[in-house]
Structure 1
Amino acid sequence: MLLEIQRKFTIFFSILSILLISPQITGRPLAVPYADAELIRRIQEIFVMDTGTAVYNITSLDEIVLCPGPNDGETYCREVISHSAKMKTIRSEQFDEFKDDFKDDLLPVEEVIASRMDIEEPVVETTCTSKSTLIYPESAQSKDGKWLLVVQQEDFKQGVLIEECASETTKCKQQFSYRNMVVLVGGDLKKEMVKLPSACECSLCAIEAQHG
């Protein structure tokens, strides 16, 4: 089974290497549908890929991340193609060092908002509608714009609580923060800071309040 997976990845990367003539795009997806139709057909024979699949880290064949579905403007992927196969390459003893990091955020939404407001700067009241969700991202964007594989296995999961704007407008702006997560890099586990949605801020509320 493992040999079959390795064979598929070898074929896939050989095909995808043809696409690397494109200039490097930091933190932005290469839209697979715009590539040569024949190449897409051959790739789809190996992996089940939606026409909206986004390809990240295109300048490094060993670190390519494939996110199915639309992902514009997001900094994480809930699912990554062949993520489970890559997780199976992790040696069991590698988890020991990070066992305390595999847990879920369990703070109630009210408590999370209260802790975020516990700062010295003036708090701006928000009228923007947002939604808090516990997610298990399989990939997320690092500080330098690189997409990393987040470690998620059956017995080793990292659930993170995020807050996203119901709809982003000129008034309501999505805010992000960085947090440590255990990721797989070059076959080894390590902690990296990744960018995740943390709040929906009303950028005009303070001005509106001043003018009644």
Structure 2
Amino acid sequence: MIAVLWLTALACCICGATRPSATRPHGFKTMRSARGPPPSGRTPPTTGRPVVYPTSGELRPRLDAHGMPACAARGLGESAYCVEDATYPTQIIRNVLQSLNVDLSDKEILARQPLNHEDSIDQRVCTTKRKTIYPKTARSADHEWLYVVNDVEYAQAVTTEICADEEAPCDFVSSGLPPGYTSACRQKFAYRKLLAMHPTEKKAYAENFPFPSCCVCYVKSPPLAGRSLNPSRRRN
């Protein structure tokens, strides 16, 4: 049996839940409307003003033979997204937001996940790359590619943290481990709730998307000795 220990100290700063939560994540604000905010978890009602959509097809990103948009970066594990997409239906999304009577005068930033301030005496055991992104296309928690509402008039920011060298030994840890023990940096993901476009109903709604959130150091012990003892020896 292999025992795995999770070192959380100095390993990450924005690790989130590994499953979508029924409640809104910290830092997420509901879009403001002239008639007040909608109830949590529900799509805001429309004003009845007609919205013009394409006459055929669904509002989905174009996928290649591997089930990925051409703009998506590979090798992100559970997470996949595009910050730029040539097929992004900008005008359709703007029409939808206008039909919801959304106040966009202050160009409010949504779903921003602030990072903790680092203490000058602390040092990370796993090297990471941090970046704030504004995804336009992303794969949801249900593995469905959707257009995310992100425009100059309505922006949703997500702060990501990616392992610079996943599976590399943890700094300041490996040299102090007992013989036979090993360490490795591994990517963790967290779900963020973002406003997205429904592919068939063509309306805005809140959906969960996984994003790389932190890099964690794991320590693995060697196999336990003496597990397969001879039965005759056990009786003695």
TM-score by length of 2: 0.49
Q: Unaligned stretches of 5+ in structure 2? A: 1-51, 169-183, 222-236
Give the Å deviation of 1:126: 5.3
Q: Unaligned stretches of 5+ in structure 1? A: 17-28, 32-53, 57-65, 115-124, 208-212
The one-letter amino acid paired with 1:151 is: V
Contact persistence 2:137–2:147 (CA under 8 A): yes
Contact persistence 1:71–1:77 (CA under 8 A): no
Give the Å deviation of 1:163: 0.8
Deviates further, 95-104 or 131-140: 95-104
Aligned length: 144
Contact persistence 2:72–2:80 (CA under 8 A): no
Distance change in 2, residues 1:200/1:86 (3 Å):
farther
Give the Å deviation of 1:87: 2.6
**Max Rg structure:** 2
Local SS of the residue matching 1:96: coil
Whose helix fraction is larger, Structure 1's or Structure 2's? 1
Cα-to-partner distance string for 1:147-172 (whole Å, 9 max, x where unaligned): 22110111100111111111222622
Aligned positions of 1:10-159 closer than 5 A: 30-31=64-65, 55-56=67-68, 66-68=69-71, 70-73=73-76, 74-83=79-88, 84-94=90-100, 96=102, 102-103=109-110, 105=112, 107=114, 109-111=115-117, 127-159=125-157
Give the Å deviation of 1:193: 1.0
CA-based RMSD of the aligned residues comes to 3.8
Matched, 1:193 2:208: yes
Provide the C-alpha distance between the structure 2 equivalents of 1:93 and 1:75, rounded to a whole number of angstroms: 29
Distance change in 2, residues 1:85/1:159 (3 Å):
same
TM-score by length of 1: 0.54
The one-letter amino acid paired with 2:191 is: Y
Provide the C-alpha distance between the structure 2 equivalents of 1:96 and 1:136, rounded to a whole number of angstroms: 20
Matched, 1:169 2:167: yes
Give the Å deviation of 1:102: 3.9
Give the Å deviation of 1:137: 0.6
**Between the two proteins, what is the percent identity of the paired residues?**
23
Higher relative contact order (CA 8 A, sep 6+): 2
Provide the C-alpha distance between the structure 2 equivalents of 1:159 and 1:78, rounded to a whole number of angstroms: 11
Cα-to-partner distance string for 1:97-128 (whole Å, 9 max, x where unaligned): 99997436273x334x89xxxxxxxxxx9511
Matched, 1:178 2:191: yes
